[in-house]
Amino acid sequence: MKKLLLIISICTVGYSQCLGDLNEDGTKNILDILILVSDILAGDDQCEDFTDVCVDIDGNIYQTIQIGNQLWMSENLKTTHYNDGSEIPTGLNNSAWTNTTEGAYTYYNDDPSHLETYGNLYNWYAVDEGDLCMEGWHVPSDDEWTVLTDYLGGSSVAGGKMKEEGLDHWNSPNTGATNESGFTGLPAGYRGSSNGSYTDTGNYGYFWSSSEYGSYDAWYRGLYYNDSNVSRSLSSKQNGFSIQIGRA
């Protein structure tokens, strides 16, 4: 099955924004990918009819959004494999999480029910592997995050434009949330570097950049339930944060 998904992922490179609900069953899933692969091999290019999405090596399908000159995923990353097919370590207990310097992921409270909505939480070492994203996609650099927030009017207001509206996932008051950018930032919380505990789901969303700062820290962006600001800060590489990727 892993080999099949790898083949599908390779076949859909360049067509990853052309995937829609091809069998019209109301969802975009692996069956639609198989239809797309069949169409590609048959030379039947229906790209212009489909909505913008991208597909990872596990077959997860993500919506995308154009913001200025940048193309972003509008969902948090869920992949459990690097793009070469190797598994990303998971299931680490608190001690292992706080001590590892290898790439790893988890989901909030080790509860898989969080996965579909919030995606995985990755330490920065998974980013540093350089093979976390689909071909043509990448974890945005610190500078690329700044381009995004500048385009949205600066860090003091960009957070509101990036957060999902309403209180379905964000805690009240979800200050300034309009999601007018389409980024649809969610408050997945994080897994801490000091003791491996989980905290702040519903309150905060933290997103890695690919830019490190010395041996122990890397840059990230933060969204908050009680502020329309986007923070730019440094954090331990061992924290587990969300990832939303972009395309060059």
CA distances (Å), origin 219, targets 157, 209, 236: 20, 6, 9
Query: How many angstroms separate the CA atoms of 198 and 177, rounded?
Result: 24
pTM above 0.85, yes or no: no
> What is the pLDDT confidence band of residue 12, given thresholds at 50, 70 and 90?
very low
Q: What is the mean pLDDT of residues 113-130?
A: 96
Q: What is the mean pLDDT of residues 209-216?
A: 97
Q: What is the mean pLDDT of residues 208-222?
A: 98
The 3-state DSSP class for residue 72 equals strand
Averaged pLDDT score across all residues of the chain: 87
